[in-house]
Chains A and B, each alone.
Chain A
Amino acid sequence: MIHYRPSKIYIDPSVQNSPITQTILKTFPDISCEYTSEKPSILKKLDRYSDPLLEGKKHLWVTQNKGKLVKKCGASTSALQNLVCCNYFILDFSFNCHFECVYCFLQEYTNLPLMVVYANIEEMLKTVQDLLDRTSSSNIRIGTGEMADSLALDEITGFSQQLVPFFSIQKKAFLELKTKSDRIQNLLKLDPKGQTVVAWSINPPSYIQKYDFKTALFEERLEAAKECEKAGYKIAFHLDPLIAEPTWKKDYEELVGQLFSRFNPAWVSLGALRFNANLRSIAQKRFPNTPLTVGEFVSTPDGKKRYFRQLREELYQTVYGYITKYNRQTPTYLCMENEVVWKNSMGRVPSSEQALEKQIVSASLS
Chain B
Amino acid sequence: MRFEMISISRIQLDNRLFEVSFLADLTALKISVQKKGIVQPIQVRSEGDLFQIVSGFRRLECAQALGLTQVPAFILGEDLSHLECFERAVEENFFNRKFNCVEKAGTIQKLEKEFQVSKEILIQRYFPFLGVSSSEAVYQFYKNILILDPVLQEYVVRSNLPTHVVEEFFKFNIQDQKTITPFLQSIHFSVSTLKEFLIWIYEMSLRDRASISDLLSEPLNAIVRNPAMDARQKLPILRQWLKNKRYPMLSGLETRFVLLKQKLHLPLESSEFFEDNKIHMKLSFQNKEELEQWIEKMKEASLKPEFDELLKMV
B-binding residues in A (CB < 8 A) = 47-50, 52, 284, 288-291, 293-294, 296, 298-301, 308-311, 338, 340, 344
Assuming the contacts A47-B136, A48-B135, asked whether A288 and B171 have C-beta atoms less than 8 A apart, the reply is: yes
The chain B residue with its CB closest to the CB of A343 is B277
Confirm or deny: B14 has a beta carbon within 8 angstroms of a beta carbon on chain A.
no
The chain B residue with its CB closest to the CB of A298 is B273
* 0/1 string, B142-163, CB within 8 A of A gives 1: 0000000000000000000000
Docked complex Cα distance between A359 and B127 (Å)? 59
Docked complex Cα distance between A84 and B189 (Å)? 41
Task: Name the B residues within 8 Å of A48 (CB-CB).
Answer: 123, 134-136
Judged by DSSP, the binding face of B is helix
Binds A, one of B2-10, B64-72, B246-254: B246-254
A-binding residues in B (CB < 8 A) = 123, 133-137, 140, 171, 203-204, 206-207, 246-250, 253, 272-277
Check if B171 sits within 8 Å of A310, measured CB to CB. no
B207 vs chain A, min Cβ distance (A): 4
Docked complex Cα distance between A52 and B134 (Å)? 13
Given contacts A296-B250, A311-B249, 15 further A-B contacts (CB under 8 A): A47-B133, A289-B206, A294-B203, A294-B206, A296-B246, A296-B249, A298-B273, A298-B275, A299-B272, A299-B273, A300-B273, A300-B275, A301-B275, A308-B274, A310-B249
From B135, B272, B277, give the contact of A340 (CB < 8 A): B277
The 5 closest A-B pairs by CB, nearest first: A47-B135, A298-B273, A294-B207, A294-B203, A340-B277
The chain B residue with its CB closest to the CB of A281 is B164
B200 vs chain A, min Cβ distance (A): 10
The chain A residue with its CB closest to the CB of B277 is A340
Assuming the contacts A49-B136, A299-B273, A308-B273, asked whether A294 and B204 have C-beta atoms less than 8 A apart, the reply is: yes
Docked complex Cα distance between A311 and B250 (Å)? 9
A328 vs chain B, min Cβ distance (A): 26
A123 vs chain B, min Cβ distance (A): 37
Task: Name the B residues within 8 Å of A290 (CB-CB).
Answer: 206
Docked complex Cα distance between A307 and B186 (Å)? 33
16 A–B pairs (Cβ distance < 8 Å), ordered by A: A47-B136, A48-B123, A48-B134, A48-B135, A49-B136, A50-B137, A288-B171, A296-B249, A300-B273, A308-B249, A308-B273, A309-B276, A310-B274, A311-B249, A338-B276, A340-B277
